[in-house]
Homo-oligomer: A and B are copies of this chain.
């Protein structure tokens, strides 16, 4: 869900032929981008290439995705809603860091399911500044916002006054980045959930470092 682009009130049943076709072009665009990025690299692939490979006009591509990078991270961007739901599902009396670890564990399963795509994202992010930049600026920032409001809710504090929600969220996102990098170095042959949990756990000991 979440078309990555703003489309307000659909007056059409969510499962009409129209919406199926729309979803289909969206999927074809993602698949085309995937394959082209894989085959000829990110920078060497133009949005026109992608559109033609998906057999749509370039303009249509930009109606579905706001930027070229969004094509790559469509799935991870939507995953922030999964994160939000997972967080809200944790019991309210659970310590915040525990709740985050549990929610991330749940999310981690979903993430790693698409192993090949995750590895592609990682490869491209490692070689292309535009990609890693977009990840930090858009994807990670989006996840972070979800974390912040969830944490502030639990602590019942104002995240504009109390620095802890944002600081904890930042630490958690860094932990996820580390876990992802380690998982990527291992070519996906590692327990992502365990890696992430270990990194998240380390947050508790940050103040005691020599």
Contact = CB atoms under 8 A, between A and B. Distances in A.
Interface stretch (A7-15, A110-118, A159-167): A159-167
A141 interface: yes
Interface residues of A, number: 44
A210 B90 CA distance: 13
Interface in A133-158: 133-134, 136-138, 140-141, 151, 154-155
Count of chain copies: 2
B168 A209 contact: yes
A203 B209 CA distance: 11
Contacts of A206: 97, 164, 167-168, 171, 203-204, 206-207
Contact of A133 (B138, B154, B160): B138
Interface of A: 95-97, 132-134, 136-138, 140-141, 151, 154-155, 160-161, 163-164, 166-171, 173-175, 177-179, 181-182, 185, 198-199, 202-210
